[in-house]
Structure 1
Amino acid sequence: MVSSPSSPSFSLSTASFADPFAEEFGEFTSAVNTLADALAATAAQRDRAGGTALAERRLLRESGLLALAIPRAFGGLEAGWPLIFRAIRRLAQADSSLAHLFGFQHLQVASVLLFGSAAQQARYLGSAVEHRWFWGNAVNARDTRLAAVRTADGLEIDGTKAFCSGATDSDVLNISVVLGRDPTDRVFAVVPTSRAGIRVHDDWDNMGQRQTDSGSVSFERVRIAHDEVLGPPGVASSPRATLRNLIGQVVLTEIYLGNALGALRAAIDYLRTQTQPWPMAGVERSQDDRLLQLRAGEMWSALQAATALSNHANARFQQAWDRGAALTAEERAALAIDVASARTQAARTALHVTSQIFELVGARATASRHGFDRYWRNVRVHTLHDPLDYRHQGIGAWLLAGDVPNPHGYG
């Protein structure tokens, strides 16, 4: 049948049949895949060990990919956000902890782009490219133990922040602190991690995301200069400025999806090479077991749906980003619902897939050396970041009552 000029056309890549998990990243495809393969080689062993992945952090620096979100005007690569988000997903297939650090790197860069003045953007982002900075953070909004007092030169801060992902081995820290009683009266500052009075603690020992260095950082009379506080425009300056929160949500979404894709891929590889067929299946190879095919197909379909929803939200995010200062509160609210929908779907799907892979690989694969359990542990830790039930309730409040997510919290 010959299609008419008005008929839609499409092409199918043979690569998608050879490797259904493969993705393209344009000019960065080789760099992303090379980095992912290097991280995957030792991911299971390092997960058991925990601690700081110094060698792997060095690989991230050397890849050049830490500059993906930095504009070309400052020497960066200026990739689109959908590509950055998919790169996080790809790295999470290999190593969820390092993907977390990679994603949070771009979150800190976005903080400078959204909150910082033109001079601060040139100063910090130019230096980030030149010196291959790794960014850490101490911005947990729910941890209110950090206090600030104004000084003639800027601020002096004392206290502690928890969940400071990437702070270990970082060059600079993004720090947030509330200046008054109003929780929206919050400022962000950029300071060297080596500054006097800053102490990064080695106290991260959770069951998942074991190498994200997400422990605590304490501050003792740490001085922050006026020009190190980001702004103008600053934190709560516009709907555009609140896009930072949504980037954090998308990073979580991509880590869920990456873990689930990585788990299914690893399970299929193990099944094909090591899983013995069950006698009642009546087949010589496990991959020909119709019940295992059924289960794998169900997981793949669920993942494809969750991934498509995430891709949609990520494209919408880029549109909002491109709107610049013209982005309205209503547009931002609609985007927040898209992001929340993608996150909840990805989370539920990832929890399901990362637990169901054991039905494919069998009892022998539960040996700790294989590390199949790390995928579920990583997702389970991250899905508790802010409760999914409240995400669903927020979507429902928007649908039924027209209530919009709080742009200054996690919404």
Structure 2
Amino acid sequence: MSKAFIKAQHGLHADASAPSSNDPIQVATALAARLAESANERDQAGGHAAREREWIRESGLLTLSIPSEFGGQGADWATVYQTIRILARADSALAHVFGFHHLQLAGIRLYGSARQQRRLLSDTVQQRLFWGNALNPLDKRTVAADAADGFTLDGIKSFSSGSVGSDWLTVSAWHAPSQSALIGVLPTRQDGVAVQPDWDAFGQRQTDSGNVHFTQVALPAELVLQAPAQEATPQATLRSQVAQLIMTNLYLGIAEGAFEAARNYTRDEAKAWFASGVAKASADPLIQHRYGQLWLLLRPAVLLADHAGVELDKVFNKGALISARDRGELAVAVAEAKCLAHRAGVEISSQMFELTGARSTSAKYGFDRFWRNVRVHTLHDPIDYKYRDLGRFALEGTLPEPTAYS
């Protein structure tokens, strides 16, 4: 767990070496505090958090993962994931939107030509663009037809995180003649593109993850990042690993947020059980024992997530020299981290109520949002297939096969 989080947990003041206001960790921490003020109210309301998304834009964090040669901050992935985790402690829905913005930028770097990268990433910095996702690989209802200078898109894409209020979208479409998918990018407000804000899950309610409809939408060849039938290189398949670690750090941020909320409530508001023989709940040895168990769910999950982030940087920076083994070994590290983060998020956000008691379920606290948010998001792809991949590796040394989810 980060020193900053431990300090925050115990109310310690920053030391003289605290980072400047240009430090992304400090910027993310300040933004998270701002989002936290209305997180419960907005979670209950759902809908589109337009004002708060502008706060994210104004923070400058949208350029965090963009290389400095294109005007971005050039942060490593470990730093990007730290900012996602910090935001998720306060507001996991907007942390999701923020994380998926950087996922689209990663796709441009992994799929795009040098010319496409320079144009799209530079424009993102100069125009302060916010990216959304319409690249659900399992939804083949959006089809691409050959056109004179590219393709024409028709159909629907579901689970389009961050699409509402976005400036540009990453899109995938099924190309029937080649029996394969293409990947491209488009302005969200282009003619024929209609974003439907109909996300109605019981958690992650402000992730803007509705459907996107395409009606005779022109996709020029210059905006196609991966053409139909183009064989994916080990480098290109890293996108799923970037995505899986975004989810990992979302789950961890929720777990940390739930742990902190429970700890503060137990220390400051909870009543000691009459049979405990102590004056305050935090002095109850059974309560202390349970917090120790939750801590040991959280700590190894954080350590594995941080390790996987460092490993991703090592592999990502190899560029075209990434080998299949590099990619496979990274996938093992990411699967380890995600499985533990999944467990920590679900268990801590559920067990916290056994430690805080009936009064903590009041709607004014909104503690249920931690469980609802992590429960919805952990259904993104089945965790059992991650355990299967790890089991195959443990038994036979078999590395995970590259897919959009592994």
* Matches of 1:282 and 1:75, distance apart in 2: 61
| Residue in 1 that maps onto 2:152 | 156
Summarize deviations over 1:2-56 as a string: whole Å, max 9, x none: xxxxxxxxxx979945635999888223211110101111111111100001111
Give aligned-pair identity as a percent. 44
* Matches of 1:247 and 1:13, distance apart in 2: 24
SS of alignment partner, residue 217 of structure 1: strand
SS of alignment partner, residue 166 of structure 2: coil
SS of alignment partner, residue 197 of structure 2: coil
| Residue in 1 that maps onto 2:83 | 87
User: Aligned runs of 1:197-212 on 2, under 5 Å?
Assistant: 197-212=192-207
Given that residues 188 and 235 in structure 1 are in contact (C-alpha distance below 8 angstroms), is that contact kept between their aligned partners in structure 2?
A: no
Query: How big is the shift at 1:361?
Result: 1.4
Given that residues 157 and 220 in structure 1 are in contact (C-alpha distance below 8 angstroms), is that contact kept between their aligned partners in structure 2?
A: yes
SS of alignment partner, residue 318 of structure 2: helix
Structure 2: stretches of 5+ with no match in the other structure: none
SS of alignment partner, residue 364 of structure 2: helix
Given that residues 37 and 94 in structure 1 are in contact (C-alpha distance below 8 angstroms), is that contact kept between their aligned partners in structure 2?
A: yes
Query: How big is the shift at 1:285?
Result: 1.9
Say if 2:366 is the partner of 1:346. Answer: no
User: Aligned runs of 1:69-80 on 2, under 5 Å?
Assistant: 69-80=65-76
* Matches of 2:84 and 2:178, distance apart in 1: 34
TM-score (normalised: structure 1): 0.92
Paired amino acid for 1:308: L
Given that residues 25 and 87 in structure 1 are in contact (C-alpha distance below 8 angstroms), is that contact kept between their aligned partners in structure 2?
A: no
TM-score (normalised: structure 2): 0.93
Query: How big is the shift at 1:395?
Result: 1.6
Say if 2:389 is the partner of 1:399. Answer: no
Task: Pick from 237, 243, 250 the counterpart of residue 245 of structure 2.
Answer: 250
* Matches of 1:13 and 1:300, distance apart in 2: 15
* Matches of 1:21 and 1:246, distance apart in 2: 35
User: Aligned runs of 1:157-306 on 2, under 5 Å?
Assistant: 157-180=153-176, 185-230=180-225, 236-306=231-301
* Matches of 2:376 and 2:281, distance apart in 1: 32
Given that residues 306 and 342 in structure 1 are in contact (C-alpha distance below 8 angstroms), is that contact kept between their aligned partners in structure 2?
A: yes
* Matches of 2:4 and 2:98, distance apart in 1: 30
Given that residues 235 and 241 in structure 1 are in contact (C-alpha distance below 8 angstroms), is that contact kept between their aligned partners in structure 2?
A: no
| Residue in 1 that maps onto 2:56 | 60
CA, structure 1 residues 15+260, in 2 after alignment: closer, same or farther (shift >3 Å)? closer
Paired amino acid for 2:9: D
Query: How big is the shift at 1:237?
Result: 3.5
Given that residues 115 and 234 in structure 1 are in contact (C-alpha distance below 8 angstroms), is that contact kept between their aligned partners in structure 2?
A: no
SS of alignment partner, residue 369 of structure 1: coil
SS of alignment partner, residue 399 of structure 2: coil
Paired amino acid for 1:406: E
Say if 2:9 is the partner of 1:19. Answer: yes
CA, structure 1 residues 225+13, in 2 after alignment: closer, same or farther (shift >3 Å)? closer
SS of alignment partner, residue 178 of structure 1: strand
| Residue in 2 that maps onto 1:368 | 363
* Matches of 1:330 and 1:233, distance apart in 2: 25
CA, structure 1 residues 49+17, in 2 after alignment: closer, same or farther (shift >3 Å)? closer
CA, structure 1 residues 326+234, in 2 after alignment: closer, same or farther (shift >3 Å)? farther
Say if 2:98 is the partner of 1:102. Answer: yes
Structure 1: stretches of 5+ with no match in the other structure: 1-11
Given that residues 138 and 161 in structure 1 are in contact (C-alpha distance below 8 angstroms), is that contact kept between their aligned partners in structure 2?
A: yes
* Matches of 2:229 and 2:104, distance apart in 1: 14
* Matches of 2:4 and 2:61, distance apart in 1: 28
Given that residues 65 and 72 in structure 2 are in contact (C-alpha distance below 8 angstroms), is that contact kept between their aligned partners in structure 1?
A: yes
Task: Pick from 45, 57, 75 the counterpart of residue 49 of structure 1.
Answer: 45
SS of alignment partner, residue 101 of structure 1: helix
Query: How big is the shift at 1:228?
Result: 0.9
Summarize deviations over 1:168-200 as a string: whole Å, max 9, x none: 0000011011324766x3222111100111110
* Matches of 1:31 and 1:18, distance apart in 2: 15
Query: How big is the shift at 1:94?
Result: 0.5
Once superposed, what is the RMSD of the aligned Cα atoms? 2.2
